[in-house]
Structure 1
Amino acid sequence: MNLPELSAQSLADQAYRALRAAIVGGDLPWGDKITERGLAADLGVSPTPVREALRRLEQEQLVERTGPRSLRVVTVSPQARIESATIEAALEGVAARLAADKATPEQLDRMEGLLDAADEAAESLRADRDAGRELGPDQIEQIFNAVRDFHAQVELTADNAQLSRTLEQVRAFSRSERLRIASAQIHAGGTPGQVQRYGQHRQILDALRDHDGDLADRLARAHASSGSSDLVGWDH
């Protein structure tokens, strides 16, 4: 496991951010057994800031204690993932509604640039596939990140701290799982439904440009509810 060493300032906060990122990114997998001392050694700090960071992660229900000194990353049930996806879809609709009201031309242009980057990466990936070349994980993640950055920019434009905190909690286990599903979909080829879903990003952007909060809300909710990955429709 590759965890970054930490500096001396705000070690507990840094430990919390590093460990949370490791959980979200899948470097600390679901059900993985962890110890304060082991994590402290990986992070290059004493156990004290790690202990405080783990308390915060326990409160977020991202880790759980299995004994006085033993912990593990929680395992998320299929039902819990379904419920989280439903909550996330509703919140993404709210984010799009707020963003439609607040978006500046500069922010909208930034969103368009992110979708352009996703299209360019998808075109490169499609060319490699058509040429019979092996699709690398870095290429797949490049598209995934570009599309996720688009959604992050919508959320940033919504500019609501409470909404962002709630979305962060709901999405805690979604990234690694969605990237895994997306990679499998790409290797298997696309479907018309995936193509349609990929194109929904442009529809959301058009609604934001028109400052149509109702439409942006509906499109974002439908998009979030229509599949488990944003990296779909890449071979449109």
Structure 2
Amino acid sequence: MVLQPIGRGGTPLADEAYRRISEAMLAGDLPPGSRLVMDALAERLEISRTPVRDALRRLEREGLVEPTGRKGYTVREIATTDLEHLYESRIAVEAFSARRVAELGEPAIHIVEQTIEDAVKSGAQTAAETYHQNRMIHRSVVEAAANPILTEMFDSIWDRAKALQIFEQFHKLAADAGELLTEHYELTDAMRVAPDHAYEVMHQHIIVGYKAHKDG
């Protein structure tokens, strides 16, 4: 993926610049250590410097880039603490939601199960496709918990460019996308056993992902 000029659509230019730059990081076109010069980015995206500056400042707040010089930034290496904080946040939101879905019972569990079935049938093969389907499954758990604030928190965690990069890197380690998606049936099985069991299974599921990425 390369940075393409931004058309004049309905999305605010700063948001679109943020999306383009973060996706370039995700694709590996802007790996850690890459220099990001504001004027050069504005020229490539064919927009003014102001939205590029705003996008870079947002990435800086998220800890994905760091300022180097008056008009430039550098893509940061992802630290172990970044990984820990993201996975801890996921546990707080997603494990709680899994327990809540179990408490709500079969109608809520069915929502999650249907999402898993759709993901498995999608035939995801690439890392990006697997990442997307995995996210949809986990989001369905939070949505089925019927607490919109939890859903907002989920999106806040997963939408961060840092999270996208971390989770995408993890899924590049997965040899079998189908197996990665199918294993989520263990979660709905646990939901039908007991709320606390659902919590523990989701907690362990996230921990396995964390360890695989950390050790990989």
SS at match of 1:226: helix
Give identity over the alignment, percent: 26
Quote the residue 2:205 is aligned against.
223
Structure 2 counterpart of 1:204, which letter?
L
Q: How does 1:17-28 map to 2 (within 5 A)?
A: 17-28=19-30
Quote the residue 2:3 is aligned against.
3
Quote the residue 1:146 is aligned against.
133
| 1:29 CA displacement | 1.9
SS at match of 1:34: strand
Q: How does 1:1-236 map to 2 (within 5 A)?
A: 1-4=1-4, 5-7=6-8, 9=10, 10-100=12-102, 104=108, 107-117=111-121, 121=123, 139=126, 141-158=128-145, 159=148, 160=150, 161-169=152-160, 171-182=163-174, 185=175, 200-208=183-191, 210=192, 212-228=194-210
Question: TM-score when scaled to structure 2?
Answer: 0.73
Structure 1 counterpart of 2:8, which letter?
S
How far, CA to CA, are the matches of 1:25 and 1:95 in structure 2? 31
How far, CA to CA, are the matches of 2:80 and 2:103 in structure 1? 35
SS at match of 1:173: helix
Structural RMSD (CA):
3.5
| 1:73 CA displacement | 1.4
How far, CA to CA, are the matches of 1:42 and 1:222 in structure 2? 44
The count of corresponding residues between Structure 1 and Structure 2 is 203
Q: Is the 8 A contact 1:33 1:71 kept in 2?
A: yes
| 1:49 CA displacement | 0.8
| 1:221 CA displacement | 0.7
| 1:67 CA displacement | 1.2
Change (3 A) 1:141 1:55: closer
Change (3 A) 1:108 1:83: closer
| 1:24 CA displacement | 4.0
Change (3 A) 1:18 1:157: farther
How far, CA to CA, are the matches of 2:3 and 2:100 in structure 1? 36
Q: Runs of at least 4 residues of structure 1 off by over 6 A?
A: none
Change (3 A) 1:99 1:30: farther
How far, CA to CA, are the matches of 1:7 and 1:110 in structure 2? 38
Quote the residue 1:191 is aligned against.
none
62-71 vs 165-174, greater mean Cα deviation: 165-174
> Any idea what the Cα deviations from partners look like across 1:177-220, whole Å, max 9, x if unmatched?
113322xx45xxxxxxxx7x765410212344x49532222111
> Any idea what the Cα deviations from partners look like across 1:89-147, whole Å, max 9, x if unmatched?
343312323444566477335313234326xx38xxxxxxxxxxxxxxx5565445433
SS at match of 1:171: helix
| 1:56 CA displacement | 1.5
